[in-house]
Amino acid sequence: MGIQKDRVRFNVGGRVFETTATTLANSGRNSLFGAMFNENWDLQPNITTTEHFIDRNPDCFSVLLDLLRTGELYIPSNIPEKLLYREALFYGLLDHVRTAKWGPFDGNRLHLARSITGRAPGDGTAIRAGPDGGCCVAHGSMVHVYDWMLEEHPPITLDYQRVNDAIWVDSESIVISACERLGRDDGGMGLFSSSTGELRYKFHVSHENLVKSYTGGALSFNSDYKLFSSCKGRSNEYGVGVWDQVTGKQIDFFYEPQGWSLGDADKLQWLNGTNCLLVATLFPRKDNCYISLLDFRDKSMAWSWSDIGAPIADERRVRDAIAMEETNSICVVNEYEDLGFMDLRSNNGIVRWSSRSRLMKGKMPDEPCYPKLALHGGQLFSSMNDSVSVFCGPDWVLTSRLRNSHGGSICDFSIGGDRLFALHSDENVFDIWETRPLSII
Amino acid sequence: MSGAKKRNFQIEAFKHRVVVDPKYAEKTWKILEDAIHEIYNHNASGLSFEELYRNAYNMVLHKFGEKLYSGLVSTMTSHLKKIAKSIEAAQGAMFLEELNRNWTEHNKALQMIRDILMYMDRTFIPSTHKTPVHELGLNLWRDNIIHSSKIQTRLQDTLLELVQCERTGDVINRGLTRNITKMLMDLGPSVYQENFEKPFLDVSADFYRVESQQFIEHCDCGDYLKKAEKRLNEEIERVSHYLDARSEAKITSVVEKEMIESHMHRLVHMENSGLVSMIMDEKFEDLGRMYNLLLRVPNGLTIIKEVMTSHIRETGKDLVTDPERLKDPVNFVQELLDKKDRLDKIINLAFNNDKNFQNALNSSFEYFINLNPRSPEFISLFVDDKLRNGLKKDKEEDIETVLDKVMMLFRYLQEKDVFEKYYKQHLAKRLLSGKTSSDDAERSLIVKLKTECGYQFTSKLEGMFTDMKTSQDTMHGFYDAMGAEIADCPTLSVQVLTTGSWPTQSSSTCNLPPEILGVCDKFKTYYLGTHTGRRLTWQTNMGTAVLGATFGNVQKELGVSTYQMCILMLFNHSDRLSYKEIEQATEIPPSDLKRCLQSLACVKGKNVLRKDPMSKDIAEDDAFYFNDKFTTKLYRVKIGTVVAQKESEPEKQETRQRVEEDRKPQIEAAIVRIMKSRRVLDHNNIVTEVTKQLQSRFLPNPVVIKKRIESLIEREFLERDKTDRKLYRYLA
């Protein structure tokens, strides 16, 4: 072999490291090493005699060098994670660290990575996973934002109004919707920076060319840069508003038809295949559940379902709904975590219930939380009391159950950035579930 | 989203933290500023990357990001202003070279600066929503160089000049031009569009407007199209070499508009070289070029289509109304077929088999074929000719293609029932005289007609074939049954025709010679014996016979029609007969008799009778002799039978009359069908519906429909509404 031509010698904070230009090339062009050994800078890496001095922590350098060599992240117990993150940021290797920390999401291989105890009073409203592993938690009138390192950022408020929903439009921006207070032009919907918590834009609703104050409800957006929100206006302007994310202007409004509910909706979901918006009202004023698919192109309801006429005390009251486009169906769940399925191709209003957990009825906790549903990578997730169930396959077989020993019932959960976040109602705790990266050995 | 971010962001005053060394920031920035200068002056080799990176990192860490950023902006700006001066100073052709060189260097410097400031780019810039370093460098280049007053117009003019040079045939430095346009694209689509694309398109439009005007004055259509095509390809090639790919659609549309769209009317209609003469001369290549170029502009193809349609209609009209051509029906149809073939070939080779053009062709043919009321008859005659004789020359598959082509003409006919009438007549003659040369071809045509018009259309035709087959079997049966009893009699072959299936002929019987009559009666007895409840009538006008005759000592065989046989048999008993005597003895209708005698006595080489006087025409007081001097080389002589020919004027009238009569019940049936389902309908709607139902067979005349409605009212199938006279009611 002879002497390797591409050997590089570093002196980091007094400790000498030797590596190869090939290893350093793994760091990519957008890193300190990528820039350093670019031909623009006359630093030829094959000069083994010269060493490059870097005035940084040698312990962390060794961990990061190991990461570049193997692609695996191993943090010794004597190095705080935060320290390592800071050093990685210096070298421009933070993205490498993040991708090495946890693997691609798989509901059946999740492990509890951490539990974070928040400082907000009272019950949480919602938790939303960000696109790159961070999350935000809505609590009363505040939204707390955490990045993927679970560092807390300045919180977000919209005039300290009660927050109804929050949504990440990209890794830098969060939209939150809040209640309005009588007689004041506040509440509504705003776009915030996730890193600084600043309000960057406030979305307006106008009816007949007049700007109205309103209460923003459930949120959703699509890949066409449209933002949707259920809205309740002052004078019966109920419905679903549509905004353009680029211009920030309101571009459409779907008024609530007589005898139906849209403005109170608890869940919006955009369906790419049919170009429709799923609107589900499950805890309405009028004591009935309404699920509909709105087609904004011709202002019609492409599909609808309601439990009008069913007995009020029906144990099969729908508590959450999610559309599954692959199978052309809508999955619903009742308060005993029975799953039900409706066919999107017919309007016959039939729900096929799969009663798998009749047993649940007897042993409900004192303070139950209603189940929630999520769909990710062909796996269906449903939260119930203190655990999250994972269902797979064409018949939605129960394959895994995630449960943390403390924190009480789960009031909301969210999947994103290859992580699952579960928010507990009792003690203001949220859990982070991750898939371990595939091991080399 | 990014738009919203920028719009709503406001830079806040930065809150400084107290730093130990108050001059720390100044000192550090100085180091970095010097480094940026060195980078621009190509002295980077003396710099320590690690030190610079660390200094930039420390400035951001100690909250001097704002200072670092604004320092970068002002330093880079001042450098770019210097560069702008040096580019401005470049003389003539060096201008683009200088611009390109500086652009390359700026890019390199920008990359290095970004390397140093990488930490700021990653942390400070996103959180403050500032423009990232690379983008900032491009923006500053745009504002200070490209948009500098002394460079902007000069750059634009230089580029346009290069394009102009290339258009007039000079060779330019495409590589350099490419680099410059690439620079404009890198600076953003709007920069490219504002500084180059828009003026480029304007100048091009002017250029091609002038050039196309010159061309159109001096070139014929074919040459013009060649030049336009060449220009179009040049522009496409130019885009691929040194312009943005998205410019292709725009520049081609300019060329299309100036060179094609503005002159297309003139081109298509051009005297002696336009579309019509191209079609006449079958210039496939030119036609194809015209199609492809006009395809690119709105309404281009419509013009071609319209001109082509009117050309076909005109020439077609001339063809079908030319009295000379009407004399030869077979040739008439052949001409139509040839014309169709020629146009099909043009559409196929030059017009990309465009459906619209095919439709236009079809509708034109439909238009002019129906201009001549005798077209159905002629088409049937053409088929008759082909099925009688054609097969001998043509191979089997050729007959198929000919028949297919005929079917195509048939499709154009509006009066399909008239065709059916004639076809039936002609087929009957073919079948009875045994002249059809291929049963397969006959049947294949019937199948085609059936597919086209349904089984009703052909059921009678098929009935005729069935009759022929059954007759054969019957004859076998007859001879088997009679055996020896009729061995001495002349051989008889009878075809039993079902009334209704065959064209009705005035049943003009004649007196058969007693030799024949005997065997005929035997057959009649036999047939009625095997089939009860039938009536047999002899159709002597349609039969044929073979006679043995002795001229002098020479034995000959004569093939004749039944009428002719009757006449000749008379000469067994006497050598001279007058016209009157013959007429009396045979009772053949005068017109037929005259024709028969003519063919027996007046045709040269076949004159088995002699006539006195020896004139061409037959007169009532003529006398006929047996011609025992008749000689011929052939053993078997065929005396001309009356062949299916173009109808004479009264016959034509008669057929027409029959067709009209036949249509009446069909129209009535259609009216009743419609009224039965609709119960109440007004006059106009009935006419429309009836026309729709019947148009596959013929185009009913509204006046006739009205008459039929009146007749139905008389017969109490319908009644007029009491209040609204326009409405008819169905009476069940």
Write the pLDDT tens digit of every residue in B418-432.
888 888 888 888 887
Q: Is the pLDDT of residue A295 over 80?
A: yes
Give residue ranges of B with CB < 8 Å to any A CB: 1, 3-5, 7-9, 44-45, 47, 49-50, 53-54, 57, 108, 111-112, 115-116, 118-119, 122-123, 126-127, 129
Q: What is the mean pLDDT of residues B59-70?
A: 92
The average confidence (pLDDT) of chain B is: 85
A residues 195..234 contacting B (CB < 8 A): 195-196, 200-201, 225
Q: Cβ(A303)–Cβ(A321) under 8 Å?
A: no
Q: Give the number of C-alpha atoms closer than 13 A to the C-alpha of residue A297, restricted to the C-beta side.
A: 4
> What confidence score (pLDDT) does residue A48 get?
52
Q: How far is CA B266 from CA B216, B270, B279, in A?
A: 8, 6, 16
| Poorest-pLDDT segment among A61-75, A325-339, B74-88 | A325-339
- Interface with A, mutate which of B115, B124, B128 (most A CBs under 10 A): B115
Cβ neighbourhood burial of B553 (10 Å; 0-12, 13-18, 19+): exposed
Q: What is the mean pLDDT of residues B473-491?
A: 79
d(CA A410, CA A403): 10
Q: Is the pLDDT of residue A46 over 50?
A: no
- Residue A225: its chain B contacts at CB < 8 A? 1
CB–CB contact B1 A38 (8 Å): no
- Residue A54: its chain B contacts at CB < 8 A? 50
DSSP character for B610?
E
C-alpha closest to that of A268 among A199, A315, A216: A216
Q: What is the mean pLDDT of residues A122-148?
A: 89
d(CA B428, CA B422): 10
Phi then psi for residue A439, to 5 deg, are -80, 150
Q: How do residues B509-527 score in pLDDT, each as one tens digit? A: 778 888 788 888 888 888 8
Q: What is the mean pLDDT of residues A364-385?
A: 83
Q: What is the mean pLDDT of residues B383-403?
A: 72
Q: How confident is the model at residue B192 (pLDDT cuts 50, 70, 90)?
A: very high
| Poorest-pLDDT segment among A329-338, B170-179, B611-620 | B611-620
Task: Name the maximum alpha-carbon separation found in chain A.
Answer: 85
> What confidence score (pLDDT) does residue A177 get?
92
Task: Name the maximum alpha-carbon separation found in chain B.
Answer: 156
ipTM of the shown complex = 0.79
Give the whole-number percent of chain A exceeding pLDDT 90. 37
| Poorest-pLDDT segment among A149-158, A248-257, B631-640 | B631-640
How far apart are the CA of B103 and the nearest CA of chain A, in angstroms? Answer: 16
Query: Taking CA atoms, what residue in B is nearest to A226?
Result: B1
How far apart are the CA of A111 and the nearest CA of chain B, in angstroms? Answer: 31
Q: Cβ(A242)–Cβ(A276) under 8 Å?
A: no
d(CA A20, CA A5): 9
**Cβ of A53 under 8 Å from any chain B Cβ?**
yes
DSSP string of B565-599, one letter each residue: HHHHHHTTT-SEEEHHHHHHHH---HHHHHHHHHH
> What confidence score (pLDDT) does residue A51 get?
81
Q: How do residues B529-551 score in pLDDT, each as one tens digit? A: 888 788 888 877 777 788 888 88
Q: How confident is the model at residue B199 (pLDDT cuts 50, 70, 90)?
A: very high
d(CA B565, CA A128): 110
Phi then psi for residue B513, to 5 deg, are -65, 145
Q: Is the pLDDT of residue A47 over 80?
A: no
**Cα three-residue angle A238-A241-A242, rounded to 5 degrees:** 170
Q: Is the pLDDT of residue A1 over 50?
A: no
C-alpha closest to that of A175 among A124, A220, A111, A205: A220
How far apart are the CA of B126 and the nearest CA of chain A, in angstroms? Answer: 9
The average confidence (pLDDT) of chain A is: 85
CB–CB contact B123 A89 (8 Å): yes
Instruction: Report which of residues B294 and A50 the model is more confident about.
Output: B294
How far apart are the CA of A90 and the nearest CA of chain B, in angstroms? Answer: 7
Q: What is the mean pLDDT of residues B328-352?
A: 89
Bridge-based pairing of strands A163-170 and A300-306 is unpaired
The helix (H) or strand (E) run that includes residue A122 is none
Q: Is the pLDDT of residue A363 over 70?
A: no
> What confidence score (pLDDT) does residue B2 get?
45
CB–CB contact B122 A89 (8 Å): yes
| Poorest-pLDDT segment among B164-173, B351-360, B363-372, B493-502 | B493-502
CB–CB contact B122 A92 (8 Å): yes
d(CA A233, CA B626): 119
> What confidence score (pLDDT) does residue B718 get?
86
